[in-house]
């Protein structure tokens, strides 16, 4: 991997941006690039100055077209099996990264590009966005464990069974994109900056509770949330927790918590 295959910058306070930087091959992801991304995220997880992460693709054509096919073609069967197992863990670590993630999906997202986008907490796209879960085209299976919880069973079956491309407007309509914008890159950073303004401990709790909630009873999820709330109250008094609200109320008595 070239050192500049992944660009790392801080486009806004509290926001780390990782940009897949292989536009000549539509930001295809080599194993080395995936490992570098994972290393940056591992460092960001314990960096208090990082409150949210934006994942983007360089150029105008693609967020990412998926794994690098030239690299895959050069692997022996044993190497391919080992690489697949490693990539599964890398993807899982991204999906369960403890801080909020935003995918700036400008252009095409196919294969592993779609998996990274869907495993992000929020997705921003526009008129040039096209997303496809392409595994069915070659007899594979991807995202059956997650997609239905994001866009509903009917839409998930459509995308998974047909492997068809979904353009930006439709992706937004069915909930695959959270924001639809002309300036996808700017909107993604703006969304991440808004999230980064929130208290970090609360963001971690929200994401952890959402990740751990699937399959649990409604009462269990309710109790786990309230346990987290009580824990936060012990760690900081009400006056500190709601300091921003109290300050706003002093300026405007109509402000409510």
- pLDDT attached to residue 79: 96
List strands edge to edge, sheet with 130-132.
Answer: 62-64, 108-110, 130-132, 166-167
Cα–Cα distance measured from residue 195 to residue 193, given in angstroms and rounded to the nearest whole number: 5
Name, in order, each residue with C-beta under 8 angstroms of 184's C-beta and a sequence gap of 6 or more: 104, 105, 106, 124, 125, 126, 128, 129
Structure confidence at residue 237 as a pLDDT band (50, 70, 90): low
Q: What is the DSSP letter of 176?
A: S
Claim: this prediction has a pTM higher than 0.85: yes
For residue 70, pLDDT beyond 50: yes
Neighbours of 195 (CB within 10 A): 21
Parallel, antiparallel, or unpaired: how do β-strands 101-105 and 52-57 relate?
A: parallel
- pLDDT attached to residue 215: 84
For residue 245, pLDDT beyond 60: no
């Amino acid at each position: 991997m070239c050192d500049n295959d992944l660009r790392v910058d801080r486009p806004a306070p509290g926001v780390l941006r990782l940009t897949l930087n292989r536009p000549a091959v539509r930001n295809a992801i080599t194993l080395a690039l995936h490992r570098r991304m994972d290393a940056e995220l591992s460092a960001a997880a314990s960096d208090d100055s990082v409150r949210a992460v934006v994942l983007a693709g360089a150029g105008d054509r693609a967020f990412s077209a998926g794994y690098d096919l030239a690299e895959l073609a050069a692997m022996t069967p044993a190497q391919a099996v080992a690489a697949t197992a490693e990539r599964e863990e890398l993807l899982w670590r991204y999906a369960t990264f403890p801080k909020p993630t935003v995918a700036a999906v400008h252009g095409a997202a196919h294969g592993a590009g779609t998996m990274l986008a869907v495993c992000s907490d929020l997705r921003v796209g526009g008129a040039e966005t096209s997303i496809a879960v392409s595994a069915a085209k070659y007899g594979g299976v991807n995202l059956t464990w997650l997609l239905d919880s994001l866009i509903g069973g009917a839409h998930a079956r459509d995308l998974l069974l047909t492997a068809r491309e979904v353009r930006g407007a439709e992706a937004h309509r069915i909930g695959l994109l959270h924001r639809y914008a002309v300036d996808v890159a700017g909107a993604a950073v703006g969304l991440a900056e808004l999230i980064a303004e929130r208290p970090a401990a609360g963001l971690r709790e929200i994401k952890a509770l959402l990740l751990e909630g699937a399959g649990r009873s409604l009462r269990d999820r309710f109790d786990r949330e309230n346990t987290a709330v009580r824990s936060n109250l012990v760690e900081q008094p009400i006056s500190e927790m709601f300091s921003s609200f109290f300050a706003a109320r002093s300026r405007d008595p109509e402000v409510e918590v």
